Amino acid sequence: MHMAEVLELLAFHKDLPQEMAEESFRRLMDGSMTPAQAGSFLMGLKTKGETSLELTAAVRAALEQARLVPGLTGKRIDTCGTGGDGQCSFNCSTAVALTLAGMGYDVVKHGNRSVSSTCGSADALEALGLSLTTEPDAVAGELAERHFAFLFAPGYHPAFKHVMPVRKEIGCRTLFNLLGPLLNPARPTHQLLGVAMPEFVLRMATVLANTGVTRAAVVHGAGGFDELTPFGVNDIVQVRDGWLREERLDPRDLGFALHAPEAVAVRGREEAVDALREVLAGRGPIAMREMTALNLGMCLFLLEDDYTLSEAMDTAREALASGAGETLINA
């Protein structure tokens, strides 16, 4: 396969066949593309629009090069969004992850430092005193001890060193802004995945179905968030054992009041960490608590086959009010 053939197809807005997509991403990840080829490849995909097949090929190529976590069995969940919603909101997905772990569910949180947000998941967890340096062989032990392990993305994806200089030079969104939540090296069985761009919700769900997740919800929140929000109607694609179902969720149908997006905004890292501590303790602004409960409830709905969505939301509210997530940071 010649890269000129790949780039020619992309220049004419043609989708890549599966074998060509897979080989192209292998070359991108192992560093055998030149910087000019890599930049042209990523921009060609962006201009054309990345398909679910191309995203799946990228995920598989990246995981071939990743430091995968060995020895995990049973249910394990990740709560991770694509970021890029530009909302400067509190660390909702981190609050959900820690509360789930406090409730006894195994959580493998894949994340990074802030790129566009006020405070990324890694920044927040570091400020709470949790380790960012868990090695692959230590993840199973962390889950056994506290039901929570943080997988700091740069430590698990060494192949990204070949792509990072090109991404920085390009300076705009590429496919890699979507890949993070799809590349958890602990391969979660369950996942709540938030997407900032609504046109990618179905595509991301298709990739999860293609790459072995048991059950997931891919969501785009009202107000343009990459999480479920209590600001209006949310878009969801449910993934279960390979099938997909598109839905809409109005929080008012589940007993939530509507709030304004500015009610969950934070200014700076210190305020973000303070807000996270408050929510984990069952306190803090009602809008933040309700947004956390919405996402926590969806996770419980995914994890527990015998829960209705309404029952899952009630359990989520109770767990948050009890400060279940605070146990991890006070241990």
Within 31-171, residue ranges assigned H as helices are 35-48, 52-65, 92-102, 121-127, 139-146, 153-156, 164-170
Domains of the chain: 3-65 (1.20.970.10), 77-329 (3.40.1030.10)
Report the distance separating Cα 147 and Cα 163, nearest Å.
33
Side-chain-side CA neighbours of residue 30 (13 Å): 10
State the pLDDT confidence band at 79, using cuts at 50, 70 and 90: very high
Cα separations in angstroms, 27 against 34, 61, 156, 158: 9, 9, 19, 14
**Percent of the chain's residues with pLDDT above 70:** 96
Asked if the model's pLDDT at residue 9 lies above 60, the reply is yes
pLDDT score recorded for residue 89: 81
pLDDT score recorded for residue 85: 56
pLDDT in tens, 63-78: 999 999 999 999 999 9
Closest CA to 119 of 272, 265, 276: 272
pLDDT score recorded for residue 283: 94
Decide: pTM greater than 0.85: yes
pLDDT in tens, 121-169: 888 888 888 888 899 999 999 999 999 999 998 899 998 888 888 988 8
Closest CA to 259 of 288, 224, 299: 288
Instruction: State the average pLDDT for the chain.
Output: 92
